[in-house]
Amino acid sequence: MQHPSPDGPGRGGEEGPLEPRLPYADRRAAGRQLAMRLTRYAGHPDLLVLGLPRGGVPVAYEVANALGAPCDVFGVRKLGVPGHEELALGAVASGGARTINASVVQSFGISKATIEEITSEALEQLAERELVYREGIEPLRPGGKTVILVDDGLATGATMRAAIAALRSMGPRWIVVAVPVAPSEVCARMRVEADDVVCGAQPEPFSAVGLWYEDFAPVSTEEVRHLLRLCLSREENHQPPC
């Protein structure tokens, strides 16, 4: 696949003349607008769109539908430092990938046994959630693929950075971070870790992701399951994007 050059469109926040209409009506409307900024990836046979649960899944569904790509959910769970759970010593993600922040582990003197215990618990919780989301369907494998990681927005970017790190360990060819809205400084940090970054809108002052949606109601487990079923049905029937 011929990827955009690091200095080309999509890198550095230059997304062309498309101006997002804010606030977005809802996540699916945001996904349709976001897809227009990702058309350079449309039709590539190695493309995979992954939505971060739960809010990223409706956005990812619309992106995948527009680009003619398979889509799936990509769960990620932070591994918190014991007693300081807000601080991540690493993360685990769909497929069992794990990333560890060695400097945090060393600073807090966290033993290997403790890390394994925390990891085991996190993987169990993640597996339980994904079993419910997928209804027994095997996850799509990102190895060797161009993967577009999608969420409904970024505030601090911590979850997305964990997802990038975990996904990187699974051997994708190219990682794209795509979100409808995020602060400009967070988009800039994403560009250090992903191969391409598409932020639909970077309003200032930012405040919170939900402020940029008319409807930001929580996404239910059933909606995630429904959208994944639609993705699978489209792939099985080789339906063209709507």
Q: How confident is the model at residue 208 (pLDDT cuts 50, 70, 90)?
A: very high
Please state whether the predicted TM-score (pTM) of the whole model is above 0.85: no
Q: Which residues pair with 178 in a beta bridge?
A: 150, 198
Q: Which tokens belong to 237?
A: 């029937």
10 Å Cβ neighbour count for 81? 20
Alpha carbon 72 to its chain's center? 10
pLDDT at 242 over 70: no
Kindly report, residue by residue over 9-26, the tens digit of the pLDDT.
Answer: 344 444 444 678 899 999
Kindly report, residue by residue over 153-198, the tens digit of the pLDDT.
Answer: 998 887 898 899 889 988 999 999 999 999 999 999 999 999 999 9
pLDDT at 92 over 50: yes
- Peptide bond connecting 70 to the previous residue in cis, omega within 30 degrees of 0: no
More confident residue, 36 or 241: 36
Give mean pLDDT, residues 55-61: 97
What domains can be seen in the chain, in order of their start residue? 27-76+140-236 (3.40.50.2020), 77-134 (3.30.1310)
Give mean pLDDT, residues 105-112: 94
CA–CA distance, 57 with 55 (Å, rounded to integer): 6
Beta strand ranges found along the chain (DSSP E): 47-51, 71-73, 76-81, 84-93, 98-100, 146-150, 174-181, 196-201
